[in-house]
Structure 1
């Protein structure tokens, strides 16, 4: 079920919050008909870190994608389509295996007991539940942990929406992929036609020899040697730079200073009204016209991503004022934005992003000035020499005990008020087992912050999905209105232009 997925236009800063790829993100296929998506058996250091940090339940990296459908697909056809997807993308049949004696880096391996029946569920909303009932169900699904002994995904087909509509609630671990990788996956799996396609490749189920203790030991040694080789390569590069010791010392110092900024929380103090934290998630959504949001950013020399973040900041300013804490114009708030660091040598899928930490101008009332200031600060954050230093640090941290990793990870993220992500989506019509996908809402995890708000473009609509900590937001309905008003004041820039 291949599908064409266009990319958003405009100058942005990365796949999650940055410049979205202008090429078709559909992954290529191998000679066996399978998508060349996440084929590596090894977790990166960053993925292993995300996996180990889940020792703290509040740091779970569960992602939930809610796709609304114009009709309820035939169940048997939906099951067959998912079985096909698990053969075309073997990662769907793989689980994470802990290394021998729990030391070293976890890796992917085929689940010998893979059972599609476990991963697929079907529910029907009670009469009158409607859209609100759908997202309440999605919240409950998201807060239920995935089984770590199985492949890290579940798919629930939800019927009973008004006018015969339905929805797919697709739950997966962030360890599987970042936002750009997920966009690549959906581009390769969703169909462009409502009718079944008879020319799809039909690879057999993936197979692999059973794991043995000697084989696992060899794998671990090979993995360790790879880390040693990478460190040696870095040392050789450093030695070569000593031809100009003055330049080497200067560059090394600048890099270390940059790494300290990148790996530390933003210096801005958190908002007082968002101080509480809990393990409870609440979902809210908003639809925004893509063309209008892009025009709003362009009207003041910014991008669609600048306009998006400025809209979110407007919502937080409004919410803080309504909760009794009006913010001065120079007030900043701590924000983190995942930025794509994908390179040509990276395979499609997986996680290739770095956190850009921002002291964001939440106190600015004028939306045009706020967009401009967001753009200026984003340029500074993206110019950090050590932006990718998280990949270096995570390789070592991932080998520490889970409790230690969770303590480090939680301390680095709990001071954030907001994490914001902007993900490329499907611009052309796409279908799932004969049902047209009308909207796509990506609810990313809450790693200790008060809010994780993601936006994906589906057709001509920006689907905004807010995952909010129920303890941080005492007035969820009020913030939902503030979110709409925050976008409204930014969209007005484009209308005036």
Structure 2
């Protein structure tokens, strides 16, 4: 029965619901995203952990809400309060085996993340992990992707910290500065009727340009998805088991490279990923070609006025990362050029327009369409690389210092690897999820990323030395 209250309930957007459909389309897929906070010891008791998290969870609506779905997808799922909410179902205690190093923690993280969340209760879990070496412990937070994208999930997880979050690097992204204004901005009101006419003309022209820009971008995205690349080991069927690894870099090193070559920090990170995939393919005995690495690069369209809203607000770009290029500096320049081209062609706006169109279609149509598309085999996109800006300053949890934050992306739709990046203070961590059988060498991917960053840092310093020499010679 439809009540007045149900009209006020929060419904999943078409994009939010997509992550449910992706999970439903393949029994081997879990669409949970996660984060690991590596903590400075000593670890709290489990009772202290429960007492701390219980109060904070009650202040986060999604932590006490569950999904209510409709038969035959006649309406979008809705968030409703869990009448039987029990915090003990969501807080757990685990320990890594001796010696408690990264390898043991990677294995535990993969095991936790491969299991699906129970849709009969709120879609999150949190784990206190003990037994780490060097007087450390960890907290693993896991939530379903239908709740939030990377930025929103980071904001939710930050609310468990002692200061409730604080400032993040997310304020520097393009969408944050746009304040969710949408495609069009209305002209300022003027008392001069002649200005009204000129303002209407400018707005009409701007609307036409914006629509055309988005249409071109949407066409490019569609063409990319319908253009399968060469068959490689990077895509294919998935098992239910996962592997996990991380690559570490200093944020200041990436910023140094970005300044030296006049590119963005994201360009530098993607170039390091390109280098690593090239080395991975070569190690597997496969020759990288120009179209071997069509990569899904999510792009935030979230303004700062919606940072604390729990939902998904992303578009997408699908660049070809240049794994056929051997030289790291040339790779970086090609990555930069291709991302500039993708942005200029309107892929971000086009992807957003496609999601907006799905939002205005009857939910039963969009749900069944997504379900069909996610069941079809696809070979066009073979990798995921998503960059999530994290906290600028070091955080504390229960009075203990957070040493590192590791992001954990999901994999699905035949992508056997996925990479998420997060910046935290001066740390920049690449979290890598791989299929257990299809990507047994995720550690090779991690080391390749670190090597790629090191090569670019060395190249930037050589470039800087040459400039100094030339400057002295000119003086």
| TM-score clears 0.5 | yes
Match of 2:328 in 1: 367
Cα RMSD of the aligned pairs, angstroms, is 3.0
Does structure 2 retain, via aligned residues, the 8 Å contact 1:270–1:417?
no
Flag the 1:474–1:161 CA change in 2: closer, same or farther, 3 A. Answer: closer
C-alpha distance in structure 1 between counterparts of 2:261 and 2:378, whole Å: 32
Match of residue 390 from structure 1: 354
SS in structure 1 opposite 2:229? coil
Map of 1:70 onto structure 2: 40
Q: State how far apart, in whole Å, the 1-side matches of 2:152 and 2:282 are.
A: 38
Retained in 1: the 8 A contact 2:432–2:446?
no
Q: How does 1:47-126 map to 2 (within 5 A)?
A: 47-56=16-25, 57-71=27-41, 72-99=43-70, 102-126=73-97
1:185-242 deviation line (CA, Å, top 9, x unaligned): 234431259xxxxxxxxxxxxxxxxxxxxxxxxxxxxxxxxxxxxxxxxxxxxxxx99
**CA distance in 2: counterparts of 1:249 and 1:297, whole angstroms:** 35
Q: Distance in 2 between matches of 1:478 and 1:344?
A: 37
Give the deviation of 1:255 after TM superposition: 4.4
Q: CA deviation at 1:434?
A: 2.5
Shift of 1:307: 0.3
Alignment pair present for 1:127 and 2:87: no
Q: More deviation in 273-282 or 463-472?
A: 273-282
Which of 317, 321, 340 aligns to 2:278? It is 317
Is the 2:30–2:115 Cα contact (8 Å) retained in structure 1?
no
Equivalences, count: 411
Q: Distance in 2 between matches of 1:360 and 1:398?
A: 35
Q: Cα deviations across residues 45-64 of structure 1 (Å, max 9, x unaligned)?
A: 11122223321234532112
Partner of 2:426: 460
Match of 1:237 in 2: none
**TM-aligned CA deviation for residue 246 of structure 1:** 11
1:41 is aligned, of 10, 15, 18, to 10
Cα distance, 1:263–1:114 mapped onto 2, change above 3 Å: farther
Aligned pair in 2 of structure 1 residues 97, 320: CA closer, same or farther (>3 Å)?
Answer: same
Contact 1:293 1:494 in 2 (8 A): no
Task: Give 1:115 deviation, angstroms.
Answer: 0.6
Q: Which one of 240, 243, 258 corresponds to residue 282 of structure 1? A: 243
Contact 1:263 1:390 in 2 (8 A): no
Among 325, 334, 337, the alignment partner of 2:297 is 337
**Other structure's SS at 1:149 match:** coil
Structure 2: tracts of 5 or more residues without a match: 1-7, 165-199, 465-475
Tell me if the contact between 1:262 and 1:357 (Cα under 8 Å) persists in the aligned partners: yes
**Aligned with residue 141 of structure 1, among 75, 95, 112:** 112
In the alignment, the residues of structure 2 paired with residue 398 and residue 432 of structure 1 have an alpha-carbon distance, to the nearest angstrom, of: 41
Q: How does 1:108-257 map to 2 (within 5 A)?
A: 108-192=79-163, 255-257=214-216
Equivalent-residue separation in structure 2 for 1:402 and 1:442 (angstroms):
28
TM-score by length of 2: 0.78
Sort the Cα spacing of 1:40 and 1:81 in 2 relative to 1 into closer, same or farther, 3 A.
farther
Deviations 1:436-492 (A, max 9, x none): 211111111102212210111122110111112233335444334333322222222
- Structure of higher RCO (CA pairs closer than 8 Å, 6+ residues apart): 1
State the distance in 2 between where 1:344 and 1:164 align: 37
> Are 1:55 and 1:403, in contact at CA under 8 Å, matched by a contact in 2?
no
TM-score (norm 1): 0.75
Q: Distance in 2 between matches of 1:252 and 1:429?
A: 42
Deviations 1:54-99 (A, max 9, x none): 2123453211211111121232222122111222112110011113
